[in-house]
Structure 1
Amino acid sequence: MDGRRISASPRPCSVRRVVAKKRPRGGGVDGFVNSVRKLQRREICSKRDRSFSMSDAQERFRNISLQEEYDTHDPKGHCPTILPFLRKRSKIIEIVAAHDIVFALAQSGICAAFSRETNQRICFLNVSPDEVIRSLFYNKNNDSLITVSVYASDNFSSLKCRTTRIEYIKRGKPDAGFALFESESLKWPGFVEFDDVNGKVLTYSAQDSVYKVFDLKNYTMLYSISDKNVQEIKISPGIMLLIFTKNTSHVPLKILSIEDGTVLKSFNHLIHRNKKVDFIEQFNEKLLVKQENENLQILDVRNSELTEVSKTDFMTPSAFIFLYENQLFLTFRNRTVAVWNFRGELVTSFEDHLLWHPDCNTNNIYITSDQDLIISYCKADSDDPLSEGNGKTSKSSSDAFGLYSIEIF
């Protein structure tokens, strides 16, 4: 994914923003059918219930097949001094692929690398017996894997980052990497955020209230932001939105260049007194602001044009995914998915797309690079032949996982 923020909180944050990467423009782009047309075609479809028919689904997914099944659990292969809970089975929470290697991170904090060529486990990425890996990030800029971990020796209180070249992992040498951001104190509520779209890393040291921006290519620090009044930072392609402590009647905001931290615009956004701000999000020139029991406001920061969406139509979601290529955004709330444009119009709601988890974590959502297909973990209809085996208990609920290949027509 393109925007990943890992917090030093003992428990993962329940609200995450994931940015769907913008596809490079070039020859042949006009030949693609964008997601808007596909959604429109779906909504005006003459077929029953305006949904994909069974024949459509079977045609699209008839070539899905299990290629290999891997298991991260290996009680005999673990170091004897490893933390006891790392030796127990637990759910897979992240899967990252890089070249012919698949990385699987279990909820317990154990992480393993598997070779797709030999279908064998290469190694475990936990290089210390007391290391609990919290998250993974594949850095395509220098072909390396970044692990974000906490340690028992530190009472699991601080995030530690390490980068390891993929070639070293292939050789079974996960300890050949080196530490990143050692000068930063990433204790709660500190965090590290990886932004693949802009090629940047944002860190926050709560100890001294300093945000720092690093280059994702070589990890050099570019600039820092030191202001105790900054409450949150949102990242969009090319820019950052700084949200300051709200006053009685407004929220001070600044838009900065992501490259050098230059202030591009400073302004105040008026808010209702004594009402909680549910969220403030930035999407290019559009600012989305929602207060408790109030309408959604969409502000164009270029000309101050304001659009409002009724609070009965737009309720505060638990997560967003922005589709930069198509100028749309997805909202997730109570297992449902909806697509909106920046005129405040509901493009579509997926009535046949019920997410499995009630507290949606966008780690379980994948958007293709063309932004014309969403793959998510959903509840299946028991009468649906494609859901065969949905009620069976299998290793997929623990720290084993299957690798599938799929061809979309």
Structure 2
Amino acid sequence: MFRYIRRGKPDAGFPLFESESLKWPGFVEFDDVNGKVLTYSAQDSIYKVFDLKNYTMLYSISDTDVQEIKISPGIMLLILNRSSGYVPLKILSIEDGTILKDFKHLLHRNKKVDFIEQFNEKLLVKQENENLQILDVRHTGIREVSRTDFMTPSAFIFLYENQLFLTFRNRTVAVWNFRGELVTSFEDHLLWHPDCNTNNIYITSDQDLIISYCKADSDDQWMEGNAGSINISNILTGKCLAKINATNGSPKDEECSSSTGSSKQSRLMMRSTVAAALEDITALFYDEERNEIYTGNRHGLVHVWSN
């Protein structure tokens, strides 16, 4: 796809899921770990699973009680509508939708559920003003982490290679293990978006580096205006390894396509200042083979950052 963007031809690809009604609150989720695509049509309350290789539909899930679906390697967790004292849960095979386990998790009555997350056989459950519970669904063991040590994050990223998970809260990132222990906090990685926009975060395939759109150093703010920085940090140590900001960055020519009324694409080539390129970034991607970082902003421009 990037070669088409470079040529100014983003429409050179092919359409997908044309038969599906995916408008909000419907969605499409690409799962490269399992090689699957999950879609949800809010119009008819149907989830469908497709093969990521050829986009053929494998099976569908039609259940109006399904509140949310979580995907892990090999399995899916179905979170059903909560009853007064418990939440029904189902674990399905990601390959064919077969139910592997059907059980209920007890809850404190009259307290909202902050989150239910799944990582392989581990289930993380947190209710309002309660301790974090880490369940082993195979052996039914439960470990609790004090609510003062683990506060509800706004987002998670699971690190399957390292058996760890990232939490995002108030622009900060932390790394935890499944014993409920804090593994890493980052020395210089204050995210730009307070609500953790994961479109602006990239984890390398080895899961050793995190690349994020961050707030610039306070010492640089006077010269950068509204520009942020792109920070690269080691996940296991929390050390900041590199940073692209207005004083050291130099993107390649940026390319974008704009549509006329007849949908004819015209290629725009322009140069912009580094500070402008670091403003209003809405998406970030790292090409590990080419060692290039791609950023897109709210104006529809794509910048390429390269050595």
The whole-number CA distance in structure 2 between the counterparts of 1:205 and 1:375 is 32
Aligned equivalent of 1:402: 303
Among candidates 213, 216, 227, match of residue 380 of structure 1: 216
SS of the residue corresponding to residue 348 of structure 1 reads: strand
Among candidates 139, 162, 182, match of residue 346 of structure 1: 182
Change over 3 Å in CA distance of 1:392–1:193 after alignment to 2:
closer
Tell me which stretches of 4 or more aligned residues in structure 1 moved more than 3 Å: 382-393, 398-402
Extract unaligned runs of 5+ from structure 1. 1-96, 104-112, 115-120, 126-168
1:303 positional shift: 0.6
Q: Cα deviation per residue 1:302-341 (whole Å; 9 max; x = unaligned)? A: 1111011111111111111110000000000111011100
RMSD: 2.3
Normalized per residue, the structure richer in helix is 1
Q: 1:396–1:402: 8 Å Cα contact kept in structure 2?
A: no
1:238 positional shift: 0.5
The whole-number CA distance in structure 2 between the counterparts of 1:392 and 1:198 is 38
Among candidates 298, 322, 329, match of residue 158 of structure 2: 322
Q: Cα deviation per residue 1:29-59 (whole Å; 9 max; x = unaligned)? A: xxxxxxxxxxxxxxxxxxxxxxxxxxxxxxx
Q: 1:193–1:202: 8 Å Cα contact kept in structure 2?
A: yes
How many residues align? The count is 242
The sequence identity of aligned pairs, in percent, is 78
1:293 positional shift: 1.2
TM-score normalised per structure 2: 0.73
Q: Which has the higher contact order (CA 8 A, sep 6+)?
A: 1
SS of the residue corresponding to residue 394 of structure 1 reads: helix
1:219 positional shift: 1.7
1:183 positional shift: 3.1
Aligned equivalent of 2:270: none
Where do 1:270-309 residues align within 5 Å?
270-309=106-145
SS of the residue corresponding to residue 359 of structure 1 reads: coil
Q: Cα deviation per residue 1:40-93 (whole Å; 9 max; x = unaligned)? A: xxxxxxxxxxxxxxxxxxxxxxxxxxxxxxxxxxxxxxxxxxxxxxxxxxxxxx
Matched, 1:122 2:8: yes
1:399 positional shift: 4.2
The whole-number CA distance in structure 1 between the counterparts of 2:10 and 2:18 is 23
Where do 1:133-144 residues align within 5 Å?
none
Normalized per residue, the structure richer in strand is 2
Q: 2:246–2:278: 8 Å Cα contact kept in structure 1?
A: no
* Equivalent AA in structure 1 for residue 276 of structure 2: S
Q: 1:322–1:329: 8 Å Cα contact kept in structure 2?
A: yes
SS of the residue corresponding to residue 261 of structure 1 reads: coil
SS of the residue corresponding to residue 313 of structure 1 reads: coil
The whole-number CA distance in structure 2 between the counterparts of 1:275 and 1:322 is 26
Q: Cα deviation per residue 1:250-303 (whole Å; 9 max; x = unaligned)? A: 000010000011111111111110111111111000001111111111100011
Aligned equivalent of 2:79: 243
Extract unaligned runs of 5+ from structure 2. 221-241, 249-272, 280-298
Among candidates 186, 195, 199, match of residue 31 of structure 2: 195
SS of the residue corresponding to residue 214 of structure 2 reads: coil
Where do 1:34-73 residues align within 5 Å?
none
